[in-house]
Amino acid sequence: MRIVVVGASGNVGTAVLGRLARDYPRAELVGVSRRTPPPAPPYQGVGWHEIDIGSEDSTPRLVEVLRGADSVVLLAWLIQPSHDELALHRTNVEGSRRVAEACVRAGVPHLVYLSSVGAYSPGPKRRAVGEDWPTGGVAASSYSRDKAAVEALLDELGRREPGLTITRFRPGLILQRRAAVEIAGYFIGPLVPRSVYRGVRRGKLPVLPMPSELTLQFVHTEDVASAVSLAIGQRAAGAFNLAADPPMPPAELARLLHARHVPVAPWLVRAAARVSWALRLQPTSPGWVDLARWCPVLDTSRAWTELGWRPEHDARATVLELLEGLEAGRDHPSPALRSGRGTVNST
């Protein structure tokens, strides 16, 4: 078996390599990334190719690398620079298109794509939705628009190439301890001192100001990697939601952090994000506030019943693990997970 992982050195890619090495010890693992990580576990023993899928001339090299693969796992995704939406689109949408087209030209029978809850159209928070919910995205979020665009191109590809099995995973927020520095760089920025994370984790946050409409869902990176491995083994087709229980409305998240939830108007949070982002005080664009407000709560029963997927980490433990990593300032040898240097994300 030959498995190619595109975006193999990021948050999810690192976990996927480790999981595949355990589940398929005889498989040939091939990694594609913009920068080759050092020869340390789980990167050693992997055949590496440095390819920027955002480059217009990357398709011939992709075809060469993908030829002979039994499965291709597409994880590569840019989160930053959030102020340059065209650059994000070139990699996230056009780069994904290049990988998908290279799969067809190389005769790959199975493509596994990591989508997101962000691909869904606005949906309910008081009931969970299945994989048949529309994937039109949230218009105010460039991340959501790009995820929805890739879903649309995969829809078209599936109609045109019925011999290609396409698996799509739509997870909630993907977290783990060793990606804490990377995640902080994408969404929080360098101005928040480590002592703040220490205080939050140790229950010293007095209040949690959040809009009441927000309900967040989390899933551990290792559990996403488990789902990818199961899909490869079963060559499962279609879409699968991934999230750990329980869903976390603001009051539940506040209890976890030993804080008191203080409801805040969504427009006020968005305005604060817009101003601070425009001034480059923090890297999270206001579209992320809109996405958190409008994305639906996920029903994960299909992954449980059809894949046999069972997350080993619940949502509470996953959040606390991330906070521990933020407090410790954990870094990782992969360039994509290194402090202040990673831009390719797999969420």
- In this structure, what DSSP letter does residue 337 have? G
Q: What is the 3-state secondary structure (H, E, C) of 9-75?
A: CCHHHHHHHHHHHHHCCCCEEEEEECCCCCCCCCCCCCEEEECCCCCCCCHHHHHHHHCCCCEEEEC
> Cβ(225)–Cβ(19) under 8 Å?
yes
Q: HSE of 146 in the Cβ direction (CA atoms, 13 Å)?
A: 25
Structural domain boundaries in the chain: 2-177+219-245+296-312+332-345, 178-213+250-291
What per-residue confidence (pLDDT) applies to 191?
A: 57
Residue 219 is predicted with a pLDDT of: 97
Which pLDDT score, from 0 to 100, does residue 95 have?
A: 97
Question: What's residue 328's pLDDT?
Answer: 75
User: How much is the pLDDT for 343?
Assistant: 39
Q: Which two tokens stand for residue 164?
A: 């290609």
For the chain, the straight-line distance linking the first and the last C-alpha, in angstroms and rounded, comes to: 26
The closest of 97, 137, 98 to 117, measured between CA atoms, is: 137
- What's the gap between Cα 248 and its chain centre? 18
What pLDDT is attached to residue 206? 84
Helices (H), the chain: 11-23, 59-66, 85-89, 96-106, 142-160, 180-187, 194-201, 221-234, 250-256, 266-278, 287-294, 301-302, 315-328
Distance from CA of residue 161 to its chain's centroid?
26
CATH topology of domain 2-177+219-245+296-312+332-345: Rossmann fold (3.40.50)
Q: Do 4 and 75 meet the contact criterion of CB atoms below 8 Å apart?
A: no
- DSSP conformational letter for 216: B
Given this model, what pLDDT does residue 324 score? 84
Q: pLDDT tens digits, the chain, 347 residues: what are they?
A: 999 999 999 889 999 999 999 999 999 999 999 999 998 999 999 999 999 999 999 999 999 999 999 999 999 999 988 899 999 999 999 999 999 999 999 999 999 999 999 999 999 999 999 999 999 999 999 999 999 999 999 999 999 999 999 999 999 999 988 777 777 777 676 656 656 655 665 666 788 899 998 999 999 999 999 999 999 999 999 999 999 999 999 999 999 988 999 999 999 999 999 999 999 988 889 999 999 999 999 999 999 999 999 999 999 999 998 888 887 765 555 555 554 444 344 44
What token pair was written down for 213? 């409409």
